[in-house]
Each structure stands twice: as C-alpha cells, then as structure tokens.
Structure 1
C-alpha cells in the first residue's frame, strides 16, 4: 500500500498526543492550581466537541478540493491547542483555557476516525487492506500503552509541562508526516462544485443516515457505543478495585495490562482476515466481557492484572473489525463522515460512562466491574440482534447504492 508506513507513523504520533492529553491535562492542572477538578473541567471541554464536530469534520473533509491541506490543518490545530494549553493552563483566565480546549477538541475527530478513513485510499480492497486496518488499530493501542507511561515519567522527573511539550511535538510530527501522504484528487464539476459522480460529497446528515440505514454500520455503531459506556468507566473502576484489593497504586498496572493485551490482540487476532469482521467484533466483545467478569472475583491485583490482560487481548481485534466494517460498507461519498461519527459516538459514550461511575463511586468496585462486563456482553448481543437481515430498514438499499463500493453485494450474503 502506497505510503502506508508514513501513514502508520503519522497515526501513531497523533494518537500518542491524543491519548496523553487525558492524563497530562489533569496532572498539569493539579501541579499549577492544586485542583484536579479544574483539570477535569478542561478535559471535559477537550472531549465534549468530538461528537458535535464529527459530522462537520467528516463533511468538510469529503467536500474539500485540497484534502491534504485540510488534514494537515486539522492536525496543526490540534497540535497548536496542546501547545497553548501547556502554557495557558493554570496561568490564564479559565474561560480562555476552556475555549482553547474546545477548539483543540473540535479537531479531535480528524485524529481518530478522520485519519483511519485515509487507509481506504492507500490501497485496493482485499486482505491487504484488512491487515492494514489491523495495523491502524494497533496504533491506538500502542499509544494507549506508551503515552501514559511517558507522561507519568515526565511528571516523576519533575513536571507535567515537559510532558505536554512532548505531546505537542508528537502532534507536529503527525502533521508533517500527513503532508507527505498520497491523497486522491477530486475534480470539480462543470458548475464549479467539488467532485461529481457516485463518490460526490454528501450533506452533513448523510453520514448519520448511512450509519442508520446500512445494517452492518448500524449494528457495529450501536454495539460499540454501548460497549464504550462500559469501557469508559474502566480506568476509574480499576483504581477503585486495586484500592479494595490492598494496592492503592495498582490501578495503573491494571490499565497497563489491559492496554498491553489490547496491543497484542490487535497485532495477532486483529490481523485475521478469514473471519467475517462482524463475527470477529462479536467474539471480541464477548471475550472482553467474560474476562472482566472473571476479574471482578479476583483475590489479588496480580490475578486481576492477568485477567485485565486477557480482556485486552480479546478487545484488541474489536477496533480492527470496526474499521473494516466502516470501510467496506460506508458509501464512498460519506466514508469520512462515517469514520469520524463512529469515533465521536464512542468517545461520547465513554465520557458518559465516566460520569456514571463517578456517581456510583461508593458502590463496591467488584460490582462496578461486573456491571462493565454486563454492558460489554450486552453489546455483543445487541450486535447479533441488529445485524440480522430482518432488522434492516426498508430503505437500506438507498444507502448502499452504486457509491457504496463493495457494499453493493446483496445484504443477506454479507450479514455478519
């Protein structure tokens, strides 16, 4: 695939910066103001725009005549916000800090789903592209392992400010590498409007319409959104669980075990192309739920860490399968919208889960972890139900017409 090595480096650098922000912002706020709550508010401002900006970013990316400039500008805006927050947080008025966080967060969908949408343009459909999505998924997991470690090391050595600087440099590297990637050119129609033909850009609501009307997209989006309500609570729950098991600092080890397992799973199980991606996604969610349910009964942090790692291995293929489904079934005209919307919905679901566990923090952590497992298992069941051919709306064919590429095959033959 042309330029795929550079794409992976750009994606890893961008997602490293994105993953590190969750921890670095809170630690920098605590260091400069003594208030972790202030950091939480800034982080909320950073995450909140994702679901609202996702359709706008996707539509703009599809309509632009200069996709290279658009993607590089989005990454540069993201990087600029990280750098600005490293200077302003705790020193400038709170409204200004929150405004910068909102602007940076609005670029977030292009760091996640927006970049993943580029993979389809780097090579033809087939096993090679499926494996490419497994590698793409591994960049999320690799960033989830390395970014918190680097931030934690910087804080241990003296300050969270250098950690923010490292994140900004990673974002800048991503922007530079993105500028070297091959991008498809879109010739304007005779009337001057961008790109005609079957793959012509669609309106703002077209991506959401595709997510609803295309059965495979509807199934994976609804299932992963529900699953991420649970996954969004995992970090806080792991801290509470480790404390209950007699190791107050063990929560970080549990999440590291989960992230390392997810990286291993994406690099191994996620590269399996012989299994239909919908089935792979269901198995991933089911395995993750079972492993976390077992971890709720762990007698020690060490045992829980092993089970968290097993849950991560099972979760690893989920993202690769999700990316494959989006690429295969999203109509060409709304592919970027589908990717950015899917990522935005998952992040929003995770933030809802984090808020819910905050309200239920007095409950036994074992019960919270069991609840997470139930949500993820329910997500696997939801996928089965929604993916059935009888669950498709009557107008599904309208969303999978000639512009849908490989999705033009009879839906019954492609059902996960």
Structure 2
C-alpha cells in the first residue's frame, strides 16, 4: 500500500509542480501577453490560501478521503484544460477566474495526500514513510519544471500543460484505494465551527504553532532565493540558465538528505524501543531550527559568492537544510495533529506556505532590481527571523490561557518536550 501511495503522491505532486510553469509558458506562447501569462500563474497559486482550510474540513469529515482527493485531481486537471482551451478564445478575465477556481484545489495535491499517510502505514513505520513522503516533494520540485522545459522545447507549452494533466490522472487509481478511516463519532458541526477547530488545533499546540510559523517565515526567504537565482547565474556565469541549475542542485541535495534520513529511519525502527522512537520523534522539533539555520547560511554564502563554484556549494548547503526541514515539519504535524482535524492541519499548513511564498516573491522583486545579492541577503535575514520566531514561540504561554479543545495543553506539551 505504501508503494502505491508513493507513486500516486509523486504523480500528483509532479503534475502540480508542472501546472504553474506550463500555464505560464503556454499563455505566453499562445497569446504573446506576459501580463496574462503571469496573471494565470498568480491566480492558480493565490487562491490556495482559501482552498486549503476548506479542503481540510471536507477531508476530515469523510470516511473515504481518497475519493475526495480523486475528485480534486479531476477538478484541478479539468480546470487546467479549460484554461488551455480558452487561451486566445475567451476573455482574459474569464481565464484568470478559471485559474483562481482551479487553484482552490491546489492544497489537495500535496498536503491532502500527506495527511492520509497514517492511514497507509502503522505508527512504527511512520518515521521512514514520512521521510519517503518528503522525498516525493523534492523529486516533484526537481522533475516538474524540468519536464515543462523539455516538453515545451520539443512540443510547445500546450503539450506541457497536457502532460501535467496526464500525471494528475495517473494518480487517480492510488487516490481511490487509499484506506478509509474509522467513522467519526457524533454529527459534524457547522463548517465555520470545523474551520475554527482546525485553526485552534494549530494555534493552541506549541509544537504545531512554532513549526507552522517557522516554516511559513522560512518559505518567504526561500522565495527570495528562487527569484534571485536566475540573475545570480547571469552575474556569475553569464547566463540566467545557470540560475536554474543552482535550483536543481538545491533540489538534488534536499533529495539526497532525505534519502539518508529515510535509510536511517528504517534502521532505527527495527532496533529501537517504543521509548527510543518517541525520543527520536521529539528531536524533529530541534531539527526544524538546525535545518532553517542551514538554509540561512547557504543563502548568505550565495549572496557573497564571487564565483559560480561557490554558488553551487551554497546551493548544496541550502538543499541539505531544505530536505530535513520538510521532513521535520511533517513529523511534527503527524505527531501532534489531532485525528479529528488532521486534514485541516496539513492543508491549512500548505496554504499558509503558498501564501508566504507569494509574499516573499513580491518582496524580492524590487530587491532583485537592485542586485541579486540584495535579495539573497534579505532572504538570509528572513531565515534568521524564522529561527527567532521558533525561539519566541517556544516560550511558555501565560498560565491563565489553559488547554485548547484539540491537542495537548501546554503543561502536557512541556512534559513531552522534556522527554
């Protein structure tokens, strides 16, 4: 079952990673309008902030979350095809509207799958499965844009969009056979109440709260690195394409780091006691800090790099931080998310990171216009802010706040953190 899950999740995520760049290329090729092309990409991503929490409620309410994921795959693919068919034929506003509606389903293609992982594997196999799941994000981030580039060069941007939809469809069989969960006792509350419960679960649990905020702030810094990479490649190697190579190096290093984690997790699972596994799980909280610091160090080195070789080294350091950071984030969510709102924790987290990425990209634009080094220095500073946020959110809350309806109270969380 894990193998089928991994194949489905990888196909879904790769199709998701292809969708934005493919629409951008297709829109520019068909209409010749960079404004429309960028607007389609923005519409596809910006609406994820609203779609994530709502999708989480739906996933948490149903006994067959795989079927919901299947319908989301169909809806997302259909939306991409409608935009593709309407390029040059429908008004720009209508196409952007379709892209926005399609983007509402975006969080289901990543966080929606990850939330179902405990249904696929038992608790003893979850650490290794979690690392493998994080690896699928790294593979998708590496393969998606590369596939768009190759397919668009050979057959055009429209073919790249179709190829992305084909991958989404290929994930359908795996989604349909995901295990069912136990029936939820009692009647579900109103959607507004369910949404509030999901946000309370994140805000009221120290580990979830700080992991979510840390990853959000860090994602804004990562966006600055991505925006600056092409100009950094141009400055150091004379071609913006070398910037894409730096991003590929980062994705490859992240994949390698998570492969090591998955291998180590498989070895530990076979010989550790349950208490040892619990202590290892709690170490993921510290791993969030260390990995975020590594991303910041790598970004800083890239900012001051005087040669392309040094920039490659910086990209490796960033990747070695990015891979474990994602694994650590998922490990904390799997450990702390209450079953009743698990889907919301993952899809809301995905939405928040997408929104943070958009904000970081917007801030990076004016800085890159000054110099890629300025944007990279800002990105390194944002990573330090993420570490500072983790530290601040680790401080104990006032005692009068008491426990939250979902998740452990602060006293229990404090006891767990002390091991």
Q: Normalization by structure 2: what TM-score? A: 0.90
Conservation of the 8 A alpha-carbon contact between 1:296 and 1:367:
yes
- 2:353 matched to which residue of 1? 346
Conservation of the 8 A alpha-carbon contact between 1:138 and 1:266:
yes
1:329 aligns with 2:320: no
- 2:24 matched to which residue of 1? 26
1:373 aligns with 2:364: no
RMSD between aligned alpha carbons? 2.3
- 1:212–1:415 distance in 2 versus 1, CA, 3 Å: same
Equivalenced residues, count: 401
3-state SS in 2 of match to 1:232: helix
1:13 aligns with 2:20: no
Conservation of the 8 A alpha-carbon contact between 1:388 and 1:415:
no
3-state SS in 1 of match to 2:171: helix
In structure 2, the gaps of 5 or more residues are 266-279
1:272 is displaced (CA, Å) by: 5.2
3-state SS in 2 of match to 1:165: helix
Alignment of 1:114-263 (within 5 A): 114-126=112-124, 128-186=125-183, 189=186, 193=187, 203-245=194-236, 246-263=238-255
Would you identify which runs of 4 or more consecutive aligned residues in structure 1 move more than 3 Å? 269-275, 388-393
1:42 is displaced (CA, Å) by: 0.5
Conservation of the 8 A alpha-carbon contact between 2:223 and 2:360:
yes
Alignment of 1:387-402 (within 5 A): 387-390=394-397, 394-400=401-407
- 1:94–1:256 distance in 2 versus 1, CA, 3 Å: same
Select between 380-389 and 305-314 the one with higher mean Cα deviation.
380-389
1:188 is displaced (CA, Å) by: 6.4
2: CA distance, partners of 1:292 / 1:85: 36
- 2:90 matched to which residue of 1? 92
- 1:105 matched to which residue of 2? 103
1:278 is displaced (CA, Å) by: 0.7
1:313 is displaced (CA, Å) by: 1.5
Conservation of the 8 A alpha-carbon contact between 1:326 and 1:339:
yes
Conservation of the 8 A alpha-carbon contact between 1:290 and 1:377:
no
3-state SS in 2 of match to 1:181: coil
Conservation of the 8 A alpha-carbon contact between 2:292 and 2:387:
yes
2: CA distance, partners of 1:365 / 1:393: 47
Conservation of the 8 A alpha-carbon contact between 1:130 and 1:271:
no
- 1:198 matched to which residue of 2? none
Conservation of the 8 A alpha-carbon contact between 2:48 and 2:351:
yes
1:389 is displaced (CA, Å) by: 3.7
Structure 1 residues 218-244: Cα deviation after superposition (integer angstroms, max 9, x where no partner): 101111111111112222200121222
- 1:362 matched to which residue of 2? 369
